[in-house]
Structure 1
Amino acid sequence: MQARNSRNAQGIDVSHWQGTIDWKKVAAAGISFVFIKATQNSIDNNFLDYVKGAKAAGLLVGAYHYVDDSVINADLARAAAQTFYKAIQAAGGVGTFDLPPVMDYESNKSKLSKATITVVAKAF
């Protein structure tokens, strides 16, 4: 992995947990891109407002889906992907975004096997 460096592009990821965000202040701090949580089990309450605000501040914007521990098989993964798709469409479609859509899969409290995690990720 590339070492952190002040010359690298600086980005953040946000969700409803950050509350109200002053996007102009974020941009002025040297942040050039943001990944915004679009969905988990539903559309994030702040997703659409965050997309509009970040775009208006001139930031590059991407969206992500957080795969939580309730997604334990391919059918549930496909349903989660549909929720993510609907959020992307609600924001204006994939062309609204500057960065590719991302799947954030970081927890395994359900203790899924590596093979099942792979099935879930591929189904998504």
Structure 2
Amino acid sequence: MDDEAILRFLAVDPATLKPAPPPRPRPPELWDRIGLNPVQCSACDNPAWTTRIITAPGLGFRWLDQCRDHAMAVIAARPKRPPVPLADTLAVLQRAAEEAGLRMRVIASSDMAGWLRE
């Protein structure tokens, strides 16, 4: 979900968001926003648990602060990737083990009750 889609999903007007510095890993201002005295969620005014810097068209970089519920709602609304078959996952792990010079043995059971007895 891109920045514009998140703003639409949360029904947040980007003009109401505070200006932010250009995005960079772990900006120091981040902790000031969600620390002991967190800012309010951009969508509902509850205390923010997460924050991120987004690009708002025509406005530049802005802080998008989210409470727990709105952060989780955005995560849940993201398009889901189809599950990867177990055999494909194991094949990737097998190749990585071989490249590292390791042997790999998979021990699995499709019967949870049987697994617990073993």
Instruction: State TM-score, norm by structure 2.
Output: 0.21
Choose between structure 1 and 2: higher strand proportion. Answer: 1
Which fold has the larger relative contact order, with Cα–Cα distance below 8 Å and residues 6 or more apart in sequence? 1
- Which structure's CA Rg is the greater one? 2
